[in-house]
Chains A and B, each alone.
Chain A
Amino acid sequence: MDNFQEQQFDAPIPGMSMTAELGARPWQQPPRFSTVEQTTSHYIESMSSEEFSDKLIDVLEMGVPVTTIADVMMMNGTMDGTHSADIGILIMPILVEFMLLIADSSGIEYTSGLEEEDTPSKAAIARAVDKFKKERASSQEDKGSDMQEEGDQFEAVVENTEQMPQEDKPVGLMARRA
């Protein structure tokens, strides 16, 4: 649920794409690298530097998952026109694997981001609660309709009893009482 809300706030404002001329943005231009090989060699070259390794280790030690860093790198590469979005998605496993290699070679403890989640996500819990509420509401409605039926039957019985012919009871002081 938190992720969903976060993404909602990240979404562009309507009309934002028209605030610049078409083709003015880097991602609207032809990318610098158009093949998997070119893009891979570009990333491997930049990731092989000591500067990148040091920064990566710092970030991983802070607890940021490797997959998140790969996502950011891919997004950044697409936004600055280095490669297209589809090439970025294609080479994502290479980025993750290479960063895992750097992390393993440095011997630090890190989060890969590939671990199975033990606890259900907040979104899953929210869905389950919604489902439970709906089921409870529908069962209460059913109960209510049962009670309504019972009430209708009771009223019908009452009406019937009211409509039953009543014997004329003798009135008067001298009338016989049972």
Chain B
Amino acid sequence: METRTAKSIYSKFQDLSFLDEGKKEKAITTSGLLTPKNNSAKIDDKRYEQPAYRVAEYVREIRNKREGLNSG
């Protein structure tokens, strides 16, 4: 049984460019009383139903912080 999985799983998350593929930017109207306050683009995106996709989003967020730390 494989008990050391972190390396192989993390290596699959090295390239996170797939997160930006096919992203639709919804035009949000900023005026009007009935304007939705939250961006529903994320909710509409079917990929968010996949836990691995949400994990990739978390990873990217933390990685951006780390890269910011290393560069600056």
Contact = CB atoms under 8 A, between A and B. Distances in A.
Interface of A: 3, 7, 10-11, 35-37, 40, 66-68, 70-71, 74-75, 89-98, 100-101, 104-105, 113-114
A104 B7 CA distance: 18
Contact of A114 (B4, B10, B62): B10
A91 B69 CA distance: 23
A71 B5 contact: yes
A37 B48 CA distance: 12
A101 B6 CA distance: 16
Q: Can you list the 7 inter-chain pairs with the closest CB atoms, starting with the nearest?
A: A67-B6, A70-B6, A93-B13, A97-B62, A36-B51, A101-B66, A67-B7
A124 B6 CA distance: 21
Contact of A7 (B1, B6, B59): B1
Given A37-B54, A74-B6, A94 B62 contact: yes
A100 B66 contact: yes
Range of interface residues on chain B?
20 to 34
A98 B62 contact: yes
Main secondary structure of the interface of B (DSSP, over half): helix
A7 B55 contact: no
Contacts of B51: 35-36, 90
Given A7-B1, A104-B66, A104-B69, A113 B54 contact: no
A140 B12 CA distance: 45
Interface string B42-61: 00000000011011101100
29 contacts: A11-B1, A35-B51, A37-B54, A40-B55, A40-B58, A66-B6, A67-B7, A71-B5, A71-B6, A74-B5, A90-B52, A90-B55, A91-B55, A92-B6, A93-B9, A93-B12, A93-B56, A94-B55, A94-B58, A94-B59, A96-B6, A97-B10, A97-B59, A98-B62, A100-B66, A101-B69, A104-B70, A113-B6, A113-B7
